[in-house]
Structure formats: structure tokens, C-alpha cells
Amino acid sequence: MTVIAAGRAIEATGTAEPGAEVLVCLRPEDIVLAPASTGESPTSARNRLPAVVRRVLPAGPNLRVELDAGFPLVALITKQSGEDLALEPGARVVAQFKATAVHLIPHRR
């Protein structure tokens, strides 16, 4: 199924009624970052969102990378990956994640 979040299509394996409002939840460790300059190469990740790094914060042996993908998104990566990608605020990346990593929760107002 496809969910629209801030104008971006996100593929998910969950179920929801057509037109229903849902919260789209992802675990930060399920998000993989790649440089924005990386061309489209085949992967099993159904979701690829261009994003801008807003903050990079230490999180124990990892880094918490706060992103703007048209909506807030957080990735948890190793410090080595952060160094390899030269992540800093303003850097452009592609956030990738599998449809199976997306959790849909009904949103009740």
C-alpha cells in the first residue's frame, strides 16, 4: 500500500482503510543514508527520500541524524558511517528504508 506523507509517497506493507489517516512510524536504525549524488541503484529498499541533514548528535557508539525529508525523520547510524558520508548540517542525503520497516498506526483525533 502507498501512504502520502507531506506530499511524499511511502510504500508500506501494513494495512489501512483507503483515505484513513495514519501515523507513519519508523525505527531510526531501519533508515539507511546514502549521499544525494548516488545514482539510482537497485536495492530492496522500496522507499528513497531525498533529505537534508539538520543535526548530527552523538548517541553512545552511534550518531543520531535528524533529517528534513519534507517531514522530520531520524536515522541512527554508526560513527564510522557518519564520517564516511561526511555528515553535517545542510548535507543532502537519500534516506532509504524497506516497506516492511514502516509501521502504520490509525490516527484518531
Q: What is the pLDDT of residue 14?
A: 82
Q: What is the pLDDT of residue 18?
A: 84
pLDDT at 8 over 90: yes
Task: Count the domains in the chain.
Answer: 1
pLDDT digits (tens, 9 = 90+) for 36-78: 886 666 778 899 999 999 999 999 999 999 999 999 999 999 9
Whether this prediction's pTM lies above 0.85 is answered by yes
pLDDT at 91 over 80: yes
28: CATH:
2.40.50.100
Domain span holding position 65: 2-106
Which among 20, 23, 11, 7 has a CA at the least distance from the CA of 104?
23
- Strand (E) positions, 6-90? 8-11, 22-25, 32-35, 47-59, 62-68, 72-78
